[in-house]
Structure 1
Amino acid sequence: MGDSFIGTGPLDPEAAELLAESIRVPVNRFADWPAVSTRVVEVGEALRKASIGRRYAWNHPLKDTKAGEVLAGLPTEDLRAAGLWAMLYRWTGGTDRTHLDLCNAVTDVVAVRRLAWTAREISVLLDCAARYRNSYHLPVVLKLPVSAAARLGDDELRALREPILAARTRAAECFEDMNPDRRGTTVKQLEQLAGRLGHEADDLPAMILNDLDAFGPRVREALGERVKDRALIALLKHAVGVSSGARPTASWRKQAARLVAEPVHEAVRQILTVLVAHREELVVSPSSHGDYGFPVYLDGGNLDMARGLVWAVATLDAAWVPSLLGDLAVTAAVRMAGGWGELRSERLVNAAIGSLGERADDAAVAQLSRIRSRLRRKTMLKSVDKALSTVAERGGISRERLLDRTVPDYGLDADGVRSEAVGEHTAVLALTDDGVSLVFADAAGRRLAGVPMAVRADHADVLADLRREVKELKQMLPTQRFRIEEALGSGRVWDGAEWRAYCLEHPVTGRITRALIWEISTDGGASWRAGLPAEGELSMVDGGLLVVPADARVRLWHPVRADRDEVAAWRDRFAEERLRQPFKQAYREIYLLTPAEESTHDHSNRFAAHVLRYGQARALLTSRGWSAPSLGYWDGGYEGAAVRVYRDEAGGAEFRASFDVTLIATETDGGNPALCSTGRVHFTLDGVSVALRDIPALVLSEAFRDCDLAVGVTSIATDPTWADTGRDSDHWDYWSRASTADLGAAAQIRREALRRLLPRTKIADRVEIGDRFVRVRGNKRTFKVHIGSGNILMEPNDSYLCIVAKPHGGKQLFLPFEEADGMLGVILSKVFLLAADDKITDPTITRQLV
């Protein structure tokens, strides 16, 4: 460590006069200055004179400036003199903007250099920062003294105990007033210095669980007195110190594993539970242009603490960890309400993914699978795919086979039921047609209406675990359904043994797969035969049984590979046996290349020029695995493309489908896009455009099906109120045309289903199914219900009838499949209502029937 620029006595009067004259402040400002070397004055004067009349850019403050040349030409030891001069200038309270900018620039440069600071010099630097009166800029002022102190050895640091703790106290007092972009880092560094001094505060650092977001107060309320627990405070302080990189260091994780042990981890569970339920809140900030609001999810310190806790529980042996991390990732991956498309916290999502990847057990893999089904941003999908692939490589299997093998069974039997004694009662957890149920029975086996008081009072922990499993199962079922539907669209192939173990006989996935048509090949894929699972084998469409050998190839049947007769036969069987599928398979739409698309070569205009409700379209495409664009009133926000990758298992290729959309600006959307128009659909392979004729039929059909679904569900043509509210709109012509247009593929499937269903009903003699409409003969009037949009026209003059109806419940009428928009149920509901039009009492409808 070199000679100090700071002596032990007061500042020399002549040096004080020189400084007062150059800085243009009264000499009494230097009354309590320490004895500063004349070299500090000389260096400071050189910098000050070089900066006269100069303003400094925020990003490159000293670039191409005289002051920058002066600083660059200084010997290494004189950089300390420059830093001292800049900090001492702040001590005087100087207000010249040029000099303050210069001070900021100089301290930023000097702070990153490894210089031989003396303890006396660092003490003066800290004292200068403590005297600085502008709380907002305090993080900038603290940067140099904190970085200098951090490079001292522990013995040298102890000599600075008082000024370091004083700086920590000052930072805590004005934390909420500091620059929010810098305060977190500054306070974190001060906490680390205090920790090296062996100073253990009895309270939380100012940067965490504060009032700068809604999360901090909620956690304090939930924890109550436990927030003062020293062991918890130690963990939270360690958590907030997690590195900003993708993964924490090995030493950090080792210390975290020690701190998160009993009894602290129950408090951690409560903090993370509060975080899962936490949502962003709109903060209103006044400005010269009027008040404006922006969403705040987590303040910087609380975000770092949350990330640290997520990583800290990575190795915690507790059953609640995987599901809670899964919930947190799904919640944090949602776009903030009132924002500009930004997520709540991508860093928090990636931390949860990384923590689950570290655990690598079956429960963690199941949650990674669930998270993957909900994510759409490429960077996060890459993270979860990497975590899954890493775990799969350890086991020497593919990622898809890993996901098959790690679906939890929750102790359910082959029928999807589990009975468990809870005191004198029995809890029955079961998968049902309606989802998941948890019921209790008494000692005599009688089913009870609710949870017995004895269970609530004496077995609260068991009840909590059962409810957690119900929640997990409810989340798991749609994830597995989507994963299996993806396998249908990709043409994935299982071998017979794994298909039987992980698809057919698994109590969770089996609930889905046993209602689907499968096909097998015993000759290496040269020929395939299809059947429906029955008694462990496959029942063909004609009723014959297919034995599935262990070495057979098994895949989901898809109508694009079948002829019309086979498709019709399967649909007849599902109708006759009243079999319901978890998603459309027998009735799945198929999309073949048209002559118009052959002529456009590399793109399709089949779904172009439609007007969609943007928010609904975006949500639907996202639920189907697309990365939907964020449209808005900003540069680059007026157009974009929804994107999804479709894998062709047969060829081993991945095709990237793009569906172009454009923002439709309106004067009434309040800055939040309400409508968008559709454009072309096109494909690439490895970044190169692909001709439509070269896209595998399965990939093309599935991609077009998603696009048609988006148009069919979210088009304004399906809005029955548009006839009243949109008549003066620019899109009235589109609505008038599209609301009664020729049927697309999805509506054609709906028409076929209606032709099978309605003849079996009590109103069969009152309905006729044409090309586009279901014609309904009521007792007062005759109606036409459009099979595509659900809109209603009244004969004889085709006047419009507005009815906003709910889907017809499946309990009233069997439906062979579920639709994303429920339009089949909506049409059936309207048909039954109109067939008895003389019994309608709703005045909003009856006055239209006159």
Structure 2
Amino acid sequence: KGERLLALLQILDRAEIPVKALDDALRRAELTPLEAQRAIELITAAGEAYASVGAFLPSRLPTDDHPVPRYTSFGDVVRPFVDTSPHREGWLTLLRHCAEVGTRRTPTQRWRTRIRELATDVPLEPVAGWMTIELAWTGPGSRSGDLEPTRTLVRGLVWALADRGDLAADLGRFAERCLRKNDIWGEKLGNTVLDVLAELPDQAGVAQLSRLKSKVRTTPSRRALHAALETAATRAGLTGEELEEAAVPRFGLVDGQREQPVAGFVARLTCDPPALTWIDAKGKALRSVPAAVKRDAPDALAALQAELKELRSTLTTQRHRLQRLWLQDRSIGPEAFQARYLDHPLVGPMTRRLIWETASGTLLLGDTTDEAMRLWHPATGAEDALLVWRDRLEELEIEQPFPQLWRPVYALQPERFAGRTCDQRQLAELAKHRGWGFPLAGHHGTPDPPGKVFGDTVVRLWLEGDEPNIPYDRVRLVGMDIDAELSPVHASELMYELDVMTAISRRSEDEGALGPLGRARLAVLERALGRIRLDAHIDDPWLVVGERRIHIGSGLAQGEPVKPTAASRTKAKAVFLPHDDPTLVEILALAFTLS
């Protein structure tokens, strides 16, 4: 019967019968699963001459009762796994139930109760690996529309993991991937993952939701992320900010490190700095992963390397969160400060390198009292106190996790960014990374200017120009309250963000006078030159090395292009700097090369 069907389809195709006729013929074909599979194999083997037939045939023919759809990259991996698993019947039952998850954003309680029961019959760890598959159609022709059954199935699988806090990192990575623009897994599936992260036990998914704040770009996805965080906070009886503080993972670290025996060696995981070090039986630290570990314990090695990657990502997230404290204008109670900040294995090392202010106005470094604490901002301090703290941290060689003592202080002033022309797309990416809503403008402009909330005030940017280049014109403040105005800290942080974003996205480098950002770098450079052997001096806004000059704002050398040598980069990285500044490191590397 399969051969006769193939012959019929070939005749119809040669006669250029409309697709509807072929479609009707397939619908009337009553084939058993084996006959249908044979027909599919025959038509696939017919080659490119009948690609128009193969392009739509598989979905019309009955195949089998397997819940995982054929002809997708997902099915190509999952079907063989399920069919050869000792838990085959359990997997098939669970997958059939997953396929019935429905279209509602949150499945029914009855469906969820059943999926919890079924999830106890199979080991769910392989699902984490399935979420790394690039979804694609692998059958004949192009069938992207037939990927929806697979997406529905995966939605059900994601909900099956709602009690697996140990898989939070895998779910977080899958959410980030789904929420990327134009990803074929789709935003709908990504929003499902956010909902599941919010429901994981012991707030295991909150750290992932917090990390995604700097990854998610589109406005709908940001709203879904905010809603997921609010859901998790409500379940925990905390505010969103308190929940993010309380849910920072500890990675099993004690005194900043954790040791684990692996294949006769000891793996030491540390967070300050984040590293994975291998120790042999004599207690000697090795330069690379031992060959015995690679050979005898590849799974343990892969798990440790994945954990190190997650630890680094978490540290970056926490640096961003600490800086958001300035915008939240929050005070932290003494007990919460001790437990969630000073004593936390990840947040603690960063906390102890920052200046904190008590409710009575006392400034502390790495200490606490019985008063509420807030992160101190230089916009609220006196110049003489700032200089004293700079000297103290420099003497102790304490590198801050982000600029605090050396943070430029700005005041609102007219035409601060006059004349700056920025690449719109790069500016938009930088802005979205910092929480701005930034719709791209075309030749006819945009009805919704970029904006962000600072305190009780909505700040909107008014830009002029043709895509892709936008001359940065002016910043307007749109108050939620008619009398609302920005505090000195919020005003300074607003201008700091705009200065950083426009400096990075500028279409041409500025070699004029230094702004606050450049002047802060100049002050750090002046101190560094006093501690190192380098034949150079500062002639504002330049660092002069022999007959060459390097602009302190842009980091570019005048004259013929010059590339720092590897030895110069090593020397530059060895210079103590009070905070991480890649541009300043590049300036020092250029200076060492030219000297």
TM-score, length basis structure 2: 0.82
Letter in 1 for 2:554: S
- Structure 1 residues 7-406: aligned runs within 5 Å: 133-135=21-23, 201=64, 203=66, 208-211=69-72, 217=76, 229-272=88-131, 274-275=132-133, 278=134, 299-315=147-163, 317=164, 319=166, 321-336=167-182, 345-406=186-247
Q: What are the Cα deviations for residues 445-493 of structure 1, in whole angstroms up to 9, with x where unaligned? A: 2223444455556555544443332232122111111111111333321
Deviation for aligned residue 1:375: 2.3
2:374 equivalent to 1:555: yes
Deviation for aligned residue 1:318: 6.2
Letter in 2 for 1:645: V
Residue 578 of structure 2, aligned match among 812, 816, 821 = 816
2:515 equivalent to 1:704: no
1:463–1:716 Cα change, 3 Å: same
Q: Which moved more, 1:580-589 or 1:358-367?
A: 358-367
* Alignment correspondent of 1:407: 248
Deviation for aligned residue 1:557: 0.9
Q: What are the Cα deviations for residues 711-749 of structure 1, in whole angstroms up to 9, with x where unaligned? A: 11221223xxxxxxxxxxxxxxxxxxxx32221211111
2:285 equivalent to 1:447: yes
Letter in 2 for 1:783: R
3-state SS, counterpart of residue 299 of structure 1: helix
Q: Does the 8 Å contact 2:354/2:365 carry over to 1? A: yes
3-state SS, counterpart of residue 438 of structure 1: strand
CA–CA distance in structure 2, aligned partners of residues 380 and 169 of structure 1: 42
CA–CA distance in structure 2, aligned partners of residues 389 and 825 of structure 1: 40
* Identity among equivalent pairs (%): 28
1:404–1:774 Cα change, 3 Å: same
* Alignment correspondent of 2:318: 480
Q: What are the Cα deviations for residues 209-253 of structure 1, in whole angstroms up to 9, with x where unaligned? A: 524xx5555666888955994543443343333222211122322
1:467–1:783 Cα change, 3 Å: closer
* Alignment correspondent of 2:12: none
2:468 equivalent to 1:682: no
1:558–1:643 Cα change, 3 Å: same
Q: Which moved more, 1:419-428 or 1:347-356?
A: 419-428
- Structure 1 residues 736-815: aligned runs within 5 Å: 739-763=510-534, 766-777=535-546, 782-793=547-558, 800-803=559-562, 808=569, 811-815=573-577
2:280 equivalent to 1:419: no
3-state SS, counterpart of residue 478 of structure 2: strand
Deviation for aligned residue 1:393: 2.7
Residue 827 of structure 1, aligned match among 572, 582, 587 = 587
- Structure 1 residues 561-600: aligned runs within 5 Å: 561-594=380-413, 597=414
* Alignment correspondent of 1:717: 508
2:458 equivalent to 1:656: yes
3-state SS, counterpart of residue 752 of structure 1: helix
2:467 equivalent to 1:621: no
Deviation for aligned residue 1:309: 1.4
3-state SS, counterpart of residue 657 of structure 1: strand
Gaps of 5+ in 1: 1-99, 101-130, 143-161, 192-199, 287-294, 337-341, 522-526, 538-547, 598-604, 666-672, 719-738, 794-799, 836-850
Letter in 2 for 1:133: A
CA–CA distance in structure 2, aligned partners of residues 771 and 253 of structure 1: 66
Q: Does the 8 Å contact 2:400/2:579 carry over to 1? A: yes
CA–CA distance in structure 1, aligned partners of residues 244 and 401 of structure 2: 20
CA–CA distance in structure 2, aligned partners of residues 501 and 364 of structure 1: 20
CA–CA distance in structure 2, aligned partners of residues 663 and 347 of structure 1: 35
Q: Does the 8 Å contact 1:784/1:792 carry over to 2? A: yes
1:164–1:481 Cα change, 3 Å: farther
When Rg is computed on C-alpha atoms for both structures, the one with the higher figure is: 1
Q: Does the 8 Å contact 1:775/1:783 carry over to 2? A: yes
Q: What are the Cα deviations for residues 24-67 of structure 1, in whole angstroms up to 9, with x where unaligned? A: xxxxxxxxxxxxxxxxxxxxxxxxxxxxxxxxxxxxxxxxxxxx
CA–CA distance in structure 1, aligned partners of residues 431 and 544 of structure 2: 32
* Alignment correspondent of 2:10: none
Gaps of 5+ in 2: 1-17, 45-50
Q: What are the Cα deviations for residues 653-708 of structure 1, in whole angstroms up to 9, with x where unaligned? A: 3x33223446645xxxxxxx5x443232223344x7877xx222211111111111
Deviation for aligned residue 1:261: 3.5
1:510–1:318 Cα change, 3 Å: closer
Q: Does the 8 Å contact 2:425/2:440 carry over to 1? A: no
3-state SS, counterpart of residue 113 of structure 2: helix
CA–CA distance in structure 1, aligned partners of residues 576 and 520 of structure 2: 16
1:222–1:405 Cα change, 3 Å: same
1:395–1:266 Cα change, 3 Å: closer
Q: Does the 8 Å contact 1:376/1:626 carry over to 2? A: no
TM-score, length basis structure 1: 0.59
Deviation for aligned residue 1:332: 1.8
3-state SS, counterpart of residue 594 of structure 2: helix
Deviation for aligned residue 1:632: 5.8
Q: Does the 8 Å contact 1:222/1:270 carry over to 2? A: no
CA–CA distance in structure 1, aligned partners of residues 210 and 217 of structure 2: 13
Q: What are the Cα deviations for residues 772-805 of structure 1, in whole angstroms up to 9, with x where unaligned? A: 222222xxxx122222222333xxxxxx433355
Letter in 1 for 2:577: L
* Alignment correspondent of 2:269: 429
1:279–1:554 Cα change, 3 Å: farther
* Alignment correspondent of 1:149: none
CA–CA distance in structure 1, aligned partners of residues 420 and 575 of structure 2: 32
Q: Does the 8 Å contact 1:215/1:298 carry over to 2? A: no
Deviation for aligned residue 1:356: 1.4
* Alignment correspondent of 1:531: 364
Q: What are the Cα deviations for residues 140-174 of structure 1, in whole angstroms up to 9, with x where unaligned? A: x99xxxxxxxxxxxxxxxxxxx97989x969x969
CA–CA distance in structure 2, aligned partners of residues 464 and 424 of structure 1: 17
1:202–1:449 Cα change, 3 Å: farther
Letter in 1 for 2:329: G
CA–CA distance in structure 2, aligned partners of residues 313 and 355 of structure 1: 8
3-state SS, counterpart of residue 818 of structure 1: coil
Q: Does the 8 Å contact 2:165/2:204 carry over to 1? A: no
1:827–1:132 Cα change, 3 Å: closer
Letter in 2 for 1:253: R
Q: Does the 8 Å contact 2:541/2:551 carry over to 1? A: yes
3-state SS, counterpart of residue 248 of structure 2: coil
Q: What are the Cα deviations for residues 283-342 of structure 1, in whole angstroms up to 9, with x where unaligned? A: xx99xxxxxxxx979932222222221112112x462x2111011111222224xxxxx8
CA–CA distance in structure 2, aligned partners of residues 698 and 179 of structure 1: 64
- Kindly report the root-mean-square deviation, in angstroms, between the aligned alpha carbons of the 2 structures: 4.1
Letter in 2 for 1:769: I
CA–CA distance in structure 2, aligned partners of residues 469 and 500 of structure 1: 26
* Alignment correspondent of 2:341: 503
Q: Which moved more, 1:479-488 or 1:439-448?
A: 439-448
Q: Does the 8 Å contact 1:640/1:662 carry over to 2? A: no
Letter in 2 for 1:828: L
1:421–1:589 Cα change, 3 Å: same
CA–CA distance in structure 2, aligned partners of residues 662 and 224 of structure 1: 60
